[in-house]
Structure 1
């Protein structure tokens, strides 16, 4: 089985691996929270001239009363744990409680259909006490979900999510990048929750106004998810003996399945008959078509409740660089594949992370490609009409 046949493939590395988060996490520093006022905006655009990241002080953006309740460090190298004498921060308590009582937060799973109801979430929060960057990112994602379910306070919760995510990234980058037995679980969970957060932000974006802008943001999201895959590969020797072994084994079995349906058959014909794609481009597209069909198979199988929509998250992680190059160039064949992926999104439209993004993407791609490509877009359009 190749690494691309599962999210968490085996690695021949048996020593700690040094990863540079700036290679994939910091690619999204252009991400702006323009929906907030300038005084409330938090971004991750803190790169210095030497390529390193400065550590923004979230506390400097809070008023004096908020600073009193801010989570404070108990160790000089690990901010995020409050002193026993500090006042309880009820905002953060609300976010932790929300993670436990609302199982919809992690409805896309992270490789474990029962992530929110099983032991994995407990593992994540326990590890978060040891590695605060993970705790901050879990709180950020909880706040993002609260912004969705409580429309009357949406701006406040989304603002809080941006603040907490900024702090999580700052802490992560300050902790070093060696993956070993002690931190492999926390780093993988952090990467996974961060990937979900960024995917949710990307699919919810409607202010960009053009397919060009959306594709650029989506490709950026894919690059971040590829970083999750890279971490999993690097940490594989340690993860197989960790608390996450059931999760990664289950995910591996799902993505290495043999496709059974014929929903994407026409896509194979499109790619194989293309005169504009090189052989390596065709190989990358056919690889992505295979994963699409696994996703369609899961959607159409009643027994797939746990993994029914899992390919929505996984497809980005498994995308080879050649495919993202084709998307960046807005190659028609790659855009047609993206329209088919949007069908998976449409099937998952009841998920809070997805919403109407499938319909939005299909409409924009259809308009961009025009009548010449109508034959290849019949399937996505008919799926929407039928449902």
Structure 2
């Protein structure tokens, strides 16, 4: 009897290879390592000169293997990598303006000049630029998304290998790495969602947890950051997000419904903190101090919510899903931004479908937002 040929992939993560289990090769962390809460690393030290993008976008952060006939060389042997040049140019001519359209962040160029020699940060910044291009160049969507995943995986691998200590010299690169990585993962989760709500929720929870883990490292540098060139920006941000004020009608109604549901003290307090943080972000977006502050308010809410809230989302608790739909109102407001696209509408409609008519009153404000022309 002739045995059927079996094509074995050599692109699985190192942990799956060690355990001799099949790896789904999802980047930056495969499903096996996510489930087992293990450190997931890939051997990605080769840069393909003529890489091919994946044929479909059915697996958003999957990393396809290069074609067998494509030549490859070590990165250090390449005199110039033209893709990286393109990504670097896009980063400072287009991606950069997403967060500073009016050039009001006068300290940002100086920060970049200090961090451009940090390998893990440079890789992540190029990855973010590739993600940007994947949303603005539809014909090459898969090509740029593939490289965004590759470069991000490389950034995480370098970060883990170097395990940089928190010092006055490293605190700014560490902070920016955490920030760009978090925004990258949020955007990737919102845009590349496969129109599968359950899969989207799983990825969103994964994003919250991974970003929370990186932030835990950055928290060690907080006192140093407050004594750096970022001090004015931090002082301004602390002022903005600590001045909550009263809840607006939409959030106030949601809070009243949660209190009336008698969910218990601990659960109610977790939800109230999430609503209070969301209201702070809504207030800042409504004030529209400058464009970059309004956009940053949308990005900030997932950073402010506690890890306990991600557990409730993972459990598909209806109250947590309703709060997520209220956050989606902000996403929908800035739907013209490449960072968010139509994710706001997707979340609101899917939460409404998932929960059914029983939660129609709870979702009144998000559904009204979809009808608004603004």
- 2:365 equivalent to 1:379: yes
Match of 2:307 in 1: 321
- 2:208 equivalent to 1:216: no
In structure 2, distance between residues paired with 1:381 and 1:201:
24
In structure 1, distance between residues paired with 2:210 and 2:103:
21
- 2:241 equivalent to 1:264: no
For the structure 1 residues 90 and 60, does the alpha-carbon distance in structure 2 shift closer, same or farther, using more than 3 Å as the test?
closer
For the structure 1 residues 175 and 241, does the alpha-carbon distance in structure 2 shift closer, same or farther, using more than 3 Å as the test?
same
* Per-residue deviation, 1:125: 5.1
The alignment of Structure 1 onto Structure 2 pairs a total of residues equal to: 331
* Greater relative CO, 1 or 2 (CA 8 Å, sep 6+): 1
For the structure 1 residues 305 and 99, does the alpha-carbon distance in structure 2 shift closer, same or farther, using more than 3 Å as the test?
same
Match of 1:355 in 2: 341
Match of 1:251 in 2: 237
Within 5 Å, give how 1:1-387 maps onto structure 2: 43-45=28-30, 51-52=38-39, 54=41, 56-59=43-46, 61-62=48-49, 67=72, 71-72=75-76, 87-102=79-94, 104-105=95-96, 107=98, 109=99, 118-124=106-112, 126-129=114-117, 131-207=118-194, 209=196, 211-260=197-246, 261-275=248-262, 277-387=263-373
SS of alignment partner, residue 293 of structure 2: coil
* Per-residue deviation, 1:51: 4.7
For the structure 1 residues 57 and 386, does the alpha-carbon distance in structure 2 shift closer, same or farther, using more than 3 Å as the test?
closer
Supply the RMSD in Å over aligned alpha carbons. 3.0
Match of 1:75 in 2: none
SS of alignment partner, residue 188 of structure 2: helix
* Per-residue deviation, 1:237: 1.6
- What is the TM-score of this pair, normalised by structure 1? 0.77
Residues 53 and 170, structure 1, Cα contact 8 Å, conserved in 2: no
Residues 127 and 147, structure 2, Cα contact 8 Å, conserved in 1: yes
Unpaired stretches in structure 1, ≥5 consecutive residues: 1-29, 34-41, 73-82
For the structure 1 residues 155 and 122, does the alpha-carbon distance in structure 2 shift closer, same or farther, using more than 3 Å as the test?
farther
Residues 208 and 307, structure 2, Cα contact 8 Å, conserved in 1: no
In structure 1, distance between residues paired with 2:41 and 2:288:
49
* Per-residue deviation, 1:359: 0.3
* Per-residue deviation, 1:267: 1.2
For the structure 1 residues 53 and 336, does the alpha-carbon distance in structure 2 shift closer, same or farther, using more than 3 Å as the test?
closer
